[in-house]
Amino acid sequence: MRAWLKELDELLRGRSTSREALAEGTAHLRLAPLVWTSIALGLVYGVFMGIFAVANRDDPHRWLQLLATMVKLPALFLFTLVVTFPSLYVFSALLGVRLGPVDTLRLLVAAIAVNLAVLASLGPITGFFTVSTTSYHFMKLLNVLFFAIAGTIGLGFLLNTLRRLEEAQGVEQAPAAEAGNPGEGPDEAGAEAPPNLVPWPLPPRKTRARTVFQVWVVLYAVVGAQMGWILRPFIGDPELPFVWFRGREANIFIDFFRTLGELLGG
């Protein structure tokens, strides 16, 4: 556990995603510790979310709601990754982005770990408001806000890491391209290589890679929001009986404006 926390600290401080660290790829971003750390952080925030049910329900099911929230919080991020990862890899491959499936997966899991670390750090604030109010609609919107903040930071981390990876690999490959072969004459060594022989990464390819990830970030956010709607309830309305999952109706965006209207109107 201490080693996992150390790796998370290196990730948050940017040491494991610096240009120097990424010069040889992403192999140092180990998947297993990142996955387990993400699950642990999701459980932590799930506890703070579930406290509302414990504090505001009178039936024995309040503890089941707490357990359900703890389990569903990490599942939300992992299921969203499973649903969206194939599209990202196929888009990247079609556009010639030079990232293998494992490298891509490492970057995404690292971004999820950052996302959940930010969310877990906001947990005490969620707990504070939980014991300060009995408004279910307020707590729903507060958690939506915290998820949006954490998601923005996590996805920003992903795009910045991709940029550093491109720059690090570009710096590593440039000297080898400029050196030329020892046996070449002056004219041959100094000759400019044809455009199709210029080593990767080319500026257009960098642009394509960044565009692919930016489009995918929007897709991931939409799928993640709807995944949260499918896995609801997370907080649990004290006026409704406990269930593990609510029926399928409407969507997260309709419910957001409905909840906002009920909060402001009530």
Q: What is the pLDDT of residue 121?
A: 95
Cβ pair 48, 127 in contact under 8 A: yes
What is the sign, positive or negative, of the torsion defined by CA atoms of 160, 162, 163, 169? positive
> Which among 152, 132, 130 has a CA at the least distance from the CA of 45?
130
Could you tell me the pTM of the whole model? 0.78
Has residue 186 been placed in a domain?
no
187 compared with 23, residue with greater pLDDT: 23
Has residue 239 been placed in a domain?
yes
Calpha distance 38→254 (Å, rounded) = 29
> Residues 58-67: what's their mean pLDDT?
85
Q: What is the pLDDT of residue 71?
A: 93
Has residue 182 been placed in a domain?
no
Q: What is the pLDDT of residue 184?
A: 47
- Residue written as tokens 């995918």? 216
> Residues 187-214: what's their mean pLDDT?
53
Has residue 185 been placed in a domain?
no
Q: Angle between the 203-231 and 252-265 helix axes, to the nearest 10 degrees?
A: 60
Q: For 144-159, write each residue's pLDDT tens digit.
A: 999 999 989 988 888 8
Q: For 86-95, write each residue's pLDDT tens digit.
A: 887 787 777 6
pLDDT tier for residue 176 given thresholds of 50, 70 and 90: very low
Has residue 26 been placed in a domain?
yes
> Which among 66, 10, 67, 4 has a CA at the least distance from the CA of 41?
4
pLDDT tier for residue 188 given thresholds of 50, 70 and 90: very low
What is the sign, positive or negative, of the torsion defined by CA atoms of 86, 88, 91, 92? negative
Give the range with max mean pLDDT: 8-22, 190-204, 248-262. 8-22
- pLDDT score of 195 more than 60: no
pLDDT tier for residue 206 given thresholds of 50, 70 and 90: low
> Residues 13-36: what's their mean pLDDT?
85
Has residue 17 been placed in a domain?
yes
Q: What is the pLDDT of residue 38?
A: 93
Has residue 81 been placed in a domain?
yes
Q: What is the pLDDT of residue 169?
A: 62
The DSSP element (H or E) to which 92 belongs, if any, is helix 62-94
Per-residue DSSP letters for 3-31?
Answer: HHHHHHHHHHTTSTTSHHHHTT-STTS-H
Calpha distance 25→155 (Å, rounded) = 19
Cα–chain center distance at 154: 5
Count of the separate structural domains present in the chain = 1
Per the omega criterion (within 30 degrees of 0), is the bond before 195 cis?
Answer: no
Residue 177, CB half-sphere, CA atoms under 13 Å: how many?
A: 16
> Residues 184-206: what's their mean pLDDT?
47
- Mean pLDDT rounded to a whole number for the chain: 79
Domain residue limits at 128: 2-174+193-265
In one letter, which amino acid is 92?
Answer: S
Has residue 97 been placed in a domain?
yes
Task: Spell out the residues 6+ positions from residue 134 whose beta carbon is closer than 8 angstroms to its own.
Answer: 56, 238
